[in-house]
Amino acid sequence: MALHYTYIVQNKEVIIKMEDDLKMQVKVEKSDKNNEMKLEFTVEAKKFTDAMQKIFNHNAKYFSIPGFRKGKAPMNIVEKYYGAEIFYEDAFNDLFSEVYPEAIKENKLEVMTKPDVDIKQMEKGKDLEFTVTVGVKPEVKLGNYKGLEIEKVEYKVTDKDVEDELKQVQEKNSRLVSVDNRPVKSGDTTVIDFEGFVDDKAFDGGKAENHELVIGSNTFIPGFEDQIIGMKIDEEKDIKVKFPEDYFSKDLAGKDATFKVTLHEIKEKELPKLDDEFAKDVSEFDTLDEYKANIKFKKEEQADERAKHEMEDAVVNKAVEAAEVEISDPMVELELDNMLQDMDRRLSYQGFKMEQYLKMIGKTVADFRNENREVAKNSIKVRLVLEAICKDAKIEVDEKEINDKVTELAKTYGRKEEDLKANEELMENIKGTIENDKVIKLLLDNAKLVAKKEEKPKKEKSEADDKKQDKKEGKKEEKKSTKSESSDKKASSKK
């Protein structure tokens, strides 16, 4: 149902009178604080009573009143038994969810905080009166955003980078082979039985059979793997270690332990030969040289992308530093709420809950908010400054650009384009992302790139420098000695 408004300007206050069946008035005015608006709502008594009736109808089945079957007592009886106030909160929430968003939309307010609600009057048979105070988007005073000076970032791909990548692929394609003609050495994979004892008593979780352990992986208690080195197949050994003071099990933390270990098998890694056959097995190339050239090409692409992102961050930071904008505490609090929700959503994809994660890292929600307050504040400022530049530079996004992005997302996530386009919030986010990309490109295209300042290497002392220093120290000692002798002579003459 569309709402119709009549606007009347009175002393910088705007009165909005809704002329439909809501019979509601909203007065909008600036509050005493910067970037804050106050909305005063008056809802006709009948509308509030109807909302109460709606709540009763929805919950009637839950009321048990003496003399009536459960859920059959009329509303006036329920009100006498429990008091009419039982419906107030839900009725208010129901009305608020209808009238508040509409008032924000009609007044084109860009709200940046949670609504602060103050109920002035809420009683059956009387008009509902309440005020809502909200923070709105602050004005951004842009500085100069063209010709910003930033350091040019370049990352060169060396032959060593290519060789390191090749070694990683070689490692991934290695295989384990059993050896029986030597003892264990670092890097081997061992198959062991072990049982741990503290004060000669076995403890829970301290026993395993045929357990594979890579020596040097540091997955066991410090000192355990080092003592496996040198063992031979079928050898039994008592390994003595001490649990770390910060060990997760408080019953074991800081205690000495003995593990009875039996070694069953030693395996070593066998790497494939780096040749043309290897290149054919792991890639679409016929020769090792072609494969290495492709590795270098991809690494150069990654290096260029990394350099681009770093320069983009640098030029955006410069533009933000040059701008002035007031960020209120309520804005920061809402941003922190959003950050927590986003984090909770990402953790849920990994099978975690926020409470579990925070407990694992020894933090609380309050800790998270305090530690990320400046991050949240900066995020808001960056967003507002980019929006302001977009408007100032008259950057526009056409329908084709949006449609192309929707098509890309639909293919990536296996969704229908029509479904994505039906999501208004998503479409706004897509438009905003494209605008931001264009703003950042504008900033970088107009930036002044300067060579990165090279740090002067610290001068190493040579033998000549050491001799000079020794001579200086020697002269100082001579002077001290001469002064001391002179003082002794003076003292002697006085006597």
Residue 86's alpha-carbon distances to 56, 63, 68, 91, in angstroms, are: 9, 11, 19, 10
pLDDT of amino acid 494: 42
pLDDT of amino acid 1: 34
Q: Is the pLDDT of residue 64 over 80?
A: yes
Average pLDDT for 303-330: 96
- We report the CATH number of the domain holding residue 332 as 1.10.3120.10
Clarify whether residues 206 and 314 are in a common domain.
no
- For the chain, the average pLDDT equals 88
Clarify whether residues 348 and 262 are in a common domain.
no
Clarify whether residues 28 and 107 are in a common domain.
yes
* Phi, psi for 55 (deg, rounded to 5): -65, -40
Clarify whether residues 339 and 224 are in a common domain.
no
State which residues form the domain around 232. 175-270
- We report the CATH number of the domain holding residue 120 as 3.30.70.1050
DSSP 460: P
pLDDT tens string 136-167: 999 999 999 999 999 999 999 999 999 999 99
Residue 33: pLDDT band (50, 70, 90) is confident
Contact status, residue 258 vs residue 197, Cβ threshold 8 Å: yes
Domain closes at, from 84, 106, 135? 135
Contact status, residue 257 vs residue 200, Cβ threshold 8 Å: no
Domain closes at, from 270, 286, 318? 270
Clarify whether residues 265 and 311 are in a common domain.
no
Residue 238 inside a domain? The answer is yes
Clarify whether residues 238 and 364 are in a common domain.
no
Q: Is the pLDDT of residue 344 over 60?
A: yes
Q: Is the pLDDT of residue 368 over 90?
A: yes
Residue 339 inside a domain? The answer is yes
Residue 467: pLDDT band (50, 70, 90) is low
Question: What is the residue type of 495?
Answer: K
Q: Is the pLDDT of residue 489 over 50?
A: no
Domain closes at, from 220, 242, 270? 270
* Phi, psi for 357 (deg, rounded to 5): -60, -45
Q: Is the pLDDT of residue 229 over 90?
A: yes
Q: How much is the pTM? A: 0.71
pLDDT tens string 66-121: 999 999 999 999 999 999 999 999 999 999 999 999 999 999 999 999 999 999 99
Residue 362 inside a domain? The answer is yes
Q: How far apart are CA 407 and CA 418, in angstroms?
A: 10
Clarify whether residues 257 and 348 are in a common domain.
no
Clarify whether residues 366 and 313 are in a common domain.
yes
Residue 278 inside a domain? The answer is no
Average pLDDT for 272-278: 96
Clarify whether residues 340 and 231 are in a common domain.
no
Q: How far apart are CA 390 and CA 388, in angstroms?
A: 5
Handedness of CA 176, 180, 181, 185 (dihedral sign): positive
DSSP 385-445: HHHHHHHHTT----HHHHHHHHHHHHHHHT--HHHHHT-HHHHHHHHHHHHHHHHHHHHHH
Q: How many structural domains is the chain composed of?
A: 3
Residue 438 inside a domain? The answer is yes
Clarify whether residues 341 and 430 are in a common domain.
yes
